[in-house]
Amino acid sequence: MKSSSQIIDLSYPRSYSRTGECYGPPPESYNTPIYCRPSECYVHPAILQHSYLSMANVYGLTAHILNTVLAAGLDTSSATLTWALCLLLNNPRVLEISQDELDEHVGRKRAVEESDLKNLVYLDAIVKETLRLYPPGPLNLPHESMEDCIIGGYKIPKGTRLLTNLWKIQHDPNKWSAPEEFQPERFLTSHKHVDVRGNNYELLPFGSDRRVCPAIPFALRSLHITLATLIQQFVLKNPSNELIDMSESWSDYQQSHPT
Ligand code: HEM
């Protein structure tokens, strides 16, 4: 039996405290059982099945979780913002409508705030239309079937790798009129009730169901407030008379970017 100070007792409530011996540089006990006062140590649910962890496990897991969140969160958001700005510069009329909306609901005497976002419906439509035209993960993340199944008449054996072509779904002419065109208005009219949260299968930039992006509220809030701030606080202009080249390329994380 290990002493209680050496074992994370998972039956205790867990908190996000930054104090306690499980943070900081690896001590000489790096490869020994973790010492941690249970009430001060946060353990990720994915590792709850292990009742006994070494320091190496904890550092490895922390690095892995941070890496996943950075990879999943940074490039997707920055690529979407870049696409949105390019689309606005190529479609000055849309930019003007968005500026008018900000003028009407926020004015020019103060900076736009999160509490204003609920009134900025055209801005919301711009974000949706950007994610429809340019989902940062056009082929979603790879999934694997856990059991034999039949989809559309095809037998799919257990263990088959599945890549969903989100880009194609979101450009389907049977669901979207003029699918190649940037028309935020469609989300205020014909597609008013279509959202991006995985409930409508014609628009899935965040995936859907059990593996849907866990950060949708955070991602949408940060996209909205950043874009609104840029539109409100800066004069956005294309320095050239030519349209911005909207052809795509891939980042290191396999996400789609403007070239
Ligand atoms: C424009 C912004 C974003 C888009 C379009 C996006 C899209 C996606 C998609 C398509 C997936 C895969 C879903 C699936 O497998 O079916 C995913 C997964 C994930 N996203 Fe996002 N994401 C965005 C922002 C973020 C942010 C800001 C974070 C974190 C701060 C984040 C964290 C994650 C994580 C951790 C996963 C993996 C979930 C899992 O494997 O179960 N994402 N995201």
Q: Mean pLDDT over all residues of the chain?
A: 80
Mean pLDDT (whole number) for 137-161: 89
- How far separated are the first and last CA of the chain, in Å rounded? 59
Domain containing 118 equals 73-258
**Are residues 164 and 239 both part of a single domain?**
yes
- Provide long-range contacts, Cβ within 8 A and 24+ apart, for 219-225: 219/73, 219/76, 219/77, 220/127, 220/196, 221/114, 221/117, 222/77, 223/77, 223/80, 223/81, 223/84, 223/127, 224/117, 224/120, 224/123, 224/124, 224/127, 225/112, 225/113, 225/114, 225/117
CATH number where 147 lies: 1.10.630.10
Mean pLDDT (whole number) for 193-205: 96
Cβ neighbours around 251 below 10 Å, total? 15
218 pLDDT above the threshold of 50: yes
Q: How many whole angstroms from 165 Cα to the centroid of ligand 1? A: 16
Number of domains in the chain: 2
Cβ neighbours around 43 below 10 Å, total? 20
Q: Percent of the chain, pLDDT > 70?
A: 74
**Are residues 48 and 80 both part of a single domain?**
no
Highest mean pLDDT out of 69-73, 199-203, 243-247: 199-203
- Of 76, 225, 255, which is best to mutate to test ligand 1, by the most ligand atoms within 8 angstroms of its C-beta? 76
Is the pTM for the entire model greater than 0.95? no
Confirm whether residue 213 is marked as ligand binding. yes
Rounded CA-CA distance 9/202 in Å is 45
Mean pLDDT (whole number) for 247-251: 77
Q: Percent of the chain, pLDDT > 90?
A: 56
In a domain, 230, yes or no: yes
Mean pLDDT (whole number) for 205-209: 94
**Are residues 25 and 114 both part of a single domain?**
no
Cβ neighbours around 125 below 10 Å, total? 23
Instruction: State the pLDDT at residue 55.
Output: 62
Instruction: State the pLDDT at residue 16.
Output: 25
Model confidence pLDDT, tens digit, residues 171-192: 999 999 999 999 999 999 999 9
Cβ neighbours around 126 below 10 Å, total? 28
Task: Pick the residue whose CA is nearest to atom 9 on ligand 1.
Answer: 206
Residue 132 to residues 71, 81, 103, 176, 252: CA-CA distances in angstroms? Answer: 21, 13, 26, 10, 22
Lowest-pLDDT choice from 17-21, 126-130, 152-156, 207-211 = 17-21
Residue 144's pLDDT band, with cuts at 50, 70 and 90, is confident
3-state secondary structure of 256: strand
**Are residues 26 and 148 both part of a single domain?**
no
- Provide long-range contacts, Cβ within 8 A and 24+ apart, for 213-218: 213/72, 215/69, 215/72, 215/73
Burial (CB count within 10 angstroms: exposed 0-12, middle 13-18, buried 19+), residue 33: middle
Rounded CA-CA distance 45/228 in Å is 35
Q: Which residues does a 6 A CB cutoff place in the pocket of ligand 1?
A: 68-69, 72-73, 76-77, 80, 136-137, 140-141, 205-207, 211-215, 218-219
Q: How many whole angstroms from 213 Cα to the centroid of ligand 1? A: 4
**Are residues 174 and 238 both part of a single domain?**
yes
Q: How many whole angstroms from 221 Cα to the centroid of ligand 1? A: 14
Lowest-pLDDT choice from 1-15, 22-36, 58-72, 233-247 = 1-15
Model confidence pLDDT, tens digit, residues 2-40: 333 333 333 222 222 222 333 333 334 333 333 333 333
